[in-house]
Amino acid sequence: MSSVKSKANESNGVSASATPLEQKPKLRPCCACPETKKLRDECIIERGEENCGDLIEKHKQCMRDLGFKI
């Protein structure tokens, strides 16, 4: 019987540990912030990375707002 109770406790632990996973971003980084990503990428291609700092920062902020650690 103790093994049955221990398995029940393990299943409770799994459901409790699932809660922090729900706090992670649901999007993958490649799919997040498509608007700022497109503008940033176009700028980098046309003018070079050193001339696109403002767009790069806007994209980073968008990613942070969605919960990504940038």
Q: Is 30 annotated as a binding residue?
A: yes
| pLDDT tens per residue across span 28-52 | 999 999 999 999 999 999 999 999 9
CB–CB of 25/62 below 8 Å? no
Instruction: Confirm whether residue 33 is marked as ligand binding.
Output: no
Question: What's the rounded mean pLDDT across residues 14-21?
Answer: 46
**49-70 pLDDT per residue, tens:** 999 999 999 999 999 999 999 8
CA 60 to chain centre: 12
Residues 36 and 70: their CA atoms lie apart, in Å, by 15
pTM (two decimals): 0.63
8-40 burial, b if ≥16 CB within 10 A, otherwise e? eeeeeeeeeeeeeeeeeeeeeeeebbeebbebb
Residue 48 region, left (φ>0) first, then alpha (ψ -120 to 50), else beta?
left
Share of the chain above pLDDT 90, in %: 60
